[in-house]
Amino acid sequence: MQELHEEEFKRTDCLECANCCKTTGPLFTDKDIERIAKSFKLKPQQFIEQYLRIDEDNDYVLQSVPCVFLGADNYCSIYDVRPKACREFPHTDRKKFQQISNLTLKNVAICPAAFNIVEEMKKRIKV
């Protein structure tokens, strides 16, 4: 899986798409909140109140999508401090990839790169 991920992301420019940022929002860990709040010179609670809400699973998520930190040019204004979930998206380079197959199926609908990786994996399995 790692090989397919690396091959695909040599061809894929996420800035041409940014569909993940336009259609879904990441989960924010406590570490994410602290790091991003610090970059804004805010206290974590201030960052939470301004940008986040608690979802049905009791996780911190963005108040709305598209992501408020996504620019018109598809660049992320907090790229250097972005949430872990954003750093790892679409999660196709995990060592235990098979353990997140449900997540991957959701991501295939959002991310063209994830779709291409799964399609290539299907071809290789058929051989």
pLDDT for the residue 96: 64
Looking at residue 30, what is its pLDDT? Answer: 98
Q: What are phi and psi of 69, to 5 degrees?
A: -90, 0
Gap between the Cα atoms of 81 and 67, Å rounded = 14
| Residue 7 clears pLDDT 90, i.e. is over it | no
pLDDT at 97: 58
pTM of the predicted model as reported, rounded to 2 decimal places: 0.84
Alpha-carbon gap, residue 51 to 69, rounded angstroms: 10
Between CA 105 and CA 122 the distance in angstroms is 13
Q: What angle do CA 28, 30, 31 make, to 5 degrees?
A: 95
Q: Encode pLDDT of 34-43 as tens digits.
A: 999 999 999 9
pLDDT 10s digits, 51-106: 999 999 999 999 999 999 999 999 999 999 999 999 988 878 766 656 667 777 78
Distance from chain centroid for Cα 74 = 14
Residues in the chain: 127
Q: CB of 61 within 8 A of CB of 26? A: yes
